[in-house]
């Protein structure tokens, strides 16, 4: 049982580990955006600053604020002892569409995750960092496309676009492999096909991958960029509450469901 006083530095250290920020260039790692010595019992989570942020901070009585995109925040409008953290790219790759273990569990993964698509980057000195996967291949129990679509719709509160594919490359009742990738390019769709995937699950449907979809017959579900972020922020709240002595308040604006 946690009894000691908890501060924003402890939250920052925890997220640094859980989001594997060491894999990213220093300029992309995120962390404490605005320091504070205020004890933290309640953390607010939001994707970006919004017009009613000051009122929301007061209503939810949060001690620290986490933002995915903090750049337009008006610091003078907030309590001076409110600590702020931010993680952009590490959050995207760990908790939205990408190598996301929590999402794999929610999709019903039956085995180990396999990486797909690698991104290279360099640190501040120009030294190349180890490539990191931007997606995962998961195996699930064979099922009809509509059943899987219903599960994805439930997870993300809707979806933008869904195509069952065609021919041997499309989704079949005995299909079991899904590629979950945070981008949609020609090369990534073809890599998914070569590695046995019959469904490409991503955030936004991109024209750059259309020719590969046409050539392979790959099934595609685009949950929506915003939806994948909002699912990710709920996962982040779950992660924090599971491991730290704090409670979370999540700001979730209403998003229209597109079918």
pLDDT in tens, 72-126: 999 999 999 999 999 999 999 999 999 999 999 999 999 999 999 998 877 766 7
> What is the per-residue pLDDT across 148-196, written as a single tens digit (0 to 9) for each?
999 999 999 999 999 999 999 999 999 999 999 999 999 999 999 999 9
Residues 168 and 246 both lie in one domain: no
CA pair distance 108, 89, nearest whole angstrom: 25
Domain tally for the chain?
A: 2
* Cα→Cα distances 141→66, 155, 172, 178, Å: 36, 17, 12, 11
Residues 122 and 184 both lie in one domain: yes
Lookup: tokens for 13: 């250290």
Residues 147 and 56 both lie in one domain: no
Query: Is 258 inside a domain boundary?
Result: no
Helices (H), 46-185: 53-60, 89-95, 101-106, 145-156
Domain containing 79 equals 8-88+228-250
Flag whether pLDDT at 1 surpasses 50.
no
Flag whether pLDDT at 7 surpasses 70.
yes
> What is the per-residue pLDDT across 123-151, written as a single tens digit (0 to 9) for each?
766 778 888 999 999 999 999 999 999 99
Residue 83: phi and psi, rounded to 5, are -75, 145
pTM of the model: 0.91
pLDDT at 258: 38
Residues 63 and 130 both lie in one domain: no
Half-sphere exposure of 235 (CA within 13 A, CB side): 25
> What is the per-residue pLDDT across 205-232, written as a single tens digit (0 to 9) for each?
999 999 999 999 999 999 999 999 999 9
Residues 131 and 212 both lie in one domain: yes
Confidence of residue 255 (pLDDT cuts 50, 70, 90): very low
CA pair distance 46, 121, nearest whole angstrom: 27
pLDDT at 186: 98
Query: Is 1 inside a domain boundary?
Result: no
Flag whether pLDDT at 11 surpasses 90.
yes
Query: Is 197 inside a domain boundary?
Result: yes
Residue among 31, 32, 82, 30 nearest 53 (CA): 82
Residues 112 and 185 both lie in one domain: yes
CA pair distance 240, 57, nearest whole angstrom: 18
Query: Is 256 inside a domain boundary?
Result: no
pLDDT at 127: 75
Helices (H), the chain: 8-18, 53-60, 89-95, 101-106, 145-156, 186-194, 210-216, 225-243
The CATH code of the domain that includes 170 is 3.40.1390.30
Give the dihedral sign, CA 53/58/59/60. positive
pLDDT at 129: 81
pLDDT at 104: 98
């Amino acid at each position: 049982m946690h009894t000691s006083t908890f501060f924003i530095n402890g939250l920052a250290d925890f997220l640094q580990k859980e989001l594997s920020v060491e894999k990213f260039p220093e300029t992309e790692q995120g962390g404490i955006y605005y320091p504070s010595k205020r004890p933290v019992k309640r953390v607010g989570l939001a994707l970006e600053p919004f017009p009613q942020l000051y009122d929301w901070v007061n209503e939810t009585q949060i001690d620290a604020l986490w933002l995915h995109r903090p750049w337009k925040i008006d610091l003078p409008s907030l309590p001076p002892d409110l600590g702020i953290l931010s993680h952009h790219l590490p959050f995207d790759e760990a908790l939205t569409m990408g190598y996301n273990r929590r999402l794999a569990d929610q999709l019903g993964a039956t085995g180990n995750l396999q990486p797909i698509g690698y991104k290279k980057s360099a640190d501040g000195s120009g030294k190349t960092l180890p490539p990191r996967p931007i997606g995962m291949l998961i195996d699930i129990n064979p099922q009809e496309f509509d059943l899987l679509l219903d599960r994805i719709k439930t997870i993300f509160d809707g979806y933008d676009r869904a195509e069952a594919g065609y021919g041997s490359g499309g989704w079949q009742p005995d299909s079991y492999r899904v590629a979950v990738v945070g981008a949609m390019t020609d090369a990534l769709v073809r890599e998914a096909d070569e590695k046995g995937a019959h469904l490409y699950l991503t955030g936004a449907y991109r024209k750059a991958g259309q020719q590969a979809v046409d050539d392979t017959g790959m099934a595609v579900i685009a949950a929506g960029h915003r939806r994948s972020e909002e699912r990710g922020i709920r996962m982040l709240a779950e992660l924090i509450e599971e491991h730290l002595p704090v409670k979370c308040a999540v700001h979730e604006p209403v998003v229209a469901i597109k079918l």
